[in-house]
């Protein structure tokens, strides 16, 4: 059975969990999980970890995301997108492109967002969206996020297309609403597509149709493709055997001396062993998350 990371192009109208279950069944895997939900109305990159690759899922959750989105100005909806009823209207700036160009710099860098009620965040064990559907609104504390890049791609009528690169936990629906509010207007999303999830660049996406019709031919990324930020430590056969047995071993090579850092561990023939950490002033290597034998690294 395959172990790896599938970069799924999630279709519109399907929840992230439903997409994972379809992929899991197609590959015949018991273990599968995504690395960051997409709204049902959103499309685009949904990394799905299969088999042993589920052990790196937590590291992918921390990565930056890139989205392409279209916002319609002059109307705000209950859900922040086209699914909800219109709850507010306002004038659209006469020069929408100019107003956006002037407003965008205010949202670059660290900002705070109040999460929307229609979100999967939980209050007393209940997802907020369930409370919202019952007409219940609860106070939400603003949370820090970082907008790395926000670019206006074009304007047509009362709609604008933008690209944003942001930290984890950023709500694009809220960003569009806040951007509009800063111009004295309101807005909601009409389209949302996630184009990239760090460390994976745009592209390389596989459709659900490809997976369901010919899973055996679908390309998967190796589990260690999720960890390019970690230094590499190569171990000889003896040290690799000891590490696979859960033993601490002496740290050697260029990473020695870097206390507390996580590293990628490889044995002979470039076999990916797992994740380790440096201890005792960087002189000792401790196994943190070991992988079953995946064979030679295909990346």
Q: Which residues belong to the active site?
A: 39
The rounded distance, in Å, linking the Cα atoms of 214 and 42 is 24
Question: Which two structure tokens, joined as six digits, stand for 206?
Answer: 């596989």
- CA of residue 234 relative to chain centroid, distance: 29
- Token match 């850092």: residue? 261
Distance CA 198, CA 42 (A): 18
How many whole angstroms separate alpha carbon 212 and alpha carbon 225? 24
Return d(Cα 123, Cα 193) in angstroms, integer: 27
Sign of CA dihedral 34, 38, 40, 44: negative
**Token pair of 230, please?**
């970690």
Three-class SS state of 268: helix
For the chain, what's the residue count?
299
Degrees, nearest 5: CA angle 47-52-56:
50
CA torsion sign, 174 to 175 to 176 to 177?
Answer: positive
At residue 75, the 3 state secondary structure works out as strand
| Three-class secondary structure of residue 217 per DSSP | helix
For residues 206 and 9, is the Cβ–Cβ distance under 8 A? yes
Q: Which residues face 140 on adjacent strands?
A: none
- Backbone phi and psi for residue 104, each to the nearest 5 degrees, phi listed first: -55, -45
Tokens of 122: 């939980």
């Amino acid at each position: 059975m395959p172990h790896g990371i599938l970069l799924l192009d999630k279709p519109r109208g399907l929840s992230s969990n439903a997409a994972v279950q379809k992929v899991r069944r197609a590959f015949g895997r018991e273990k599968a999980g995504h690395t960051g939900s997409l709204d049902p109305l959103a499309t685009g990159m949904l990394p799905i970890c299969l088999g042993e690759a589920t052990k790196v899922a937590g590291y992918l959750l921390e990565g930056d995301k890139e989205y392409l989105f279209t916002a319609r100005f002059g109307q705000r909806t209950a859900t922040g997108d086209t699914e909800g009823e219109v709850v507010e209207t306002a004038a659209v700036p006469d020069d929408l492109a100019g107003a956006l160009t002037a407003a965008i710099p205010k949202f670059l860098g660290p900002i705070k967002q109040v999460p929307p009620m229609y979100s999967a965040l939980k209050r007393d064990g209940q997802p907020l969206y369930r409370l919202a559907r019952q007409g219940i609104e609860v106070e939400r504390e603003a949370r820090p996020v970082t907008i790395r890049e926000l670019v206006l791609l074009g304007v047509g009528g009362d709609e604008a297309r933008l690209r944003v690169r942001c930290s984890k936990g950023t709500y694009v629906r809220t960003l569009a609403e806040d951007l509009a509010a800063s111009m004295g207007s309101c807005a909601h999303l009409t389209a949302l597509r996630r184009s990239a999830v760090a460390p994976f660049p745009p592209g390389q996406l596989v459709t659900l149709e490809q997976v369901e019709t010919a899973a055996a031919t679908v390309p998967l990324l190796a589990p260690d493709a999720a960890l390019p930020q970690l230094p590499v430590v190569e171990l000889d056969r003896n040290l690799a055997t000891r590490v696979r047995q859960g033993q601490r071993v002496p740290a050697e090579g260029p990473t020695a001396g870097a206390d507390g850092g996580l590293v990628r561990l490889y044995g002979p023939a470039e076999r990916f062993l797992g994740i380790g950490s440096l201890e005792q002033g960087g002189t000792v290597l401790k196994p943190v998350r070991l992988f079953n034998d995946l064979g030679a690294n295909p990346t």
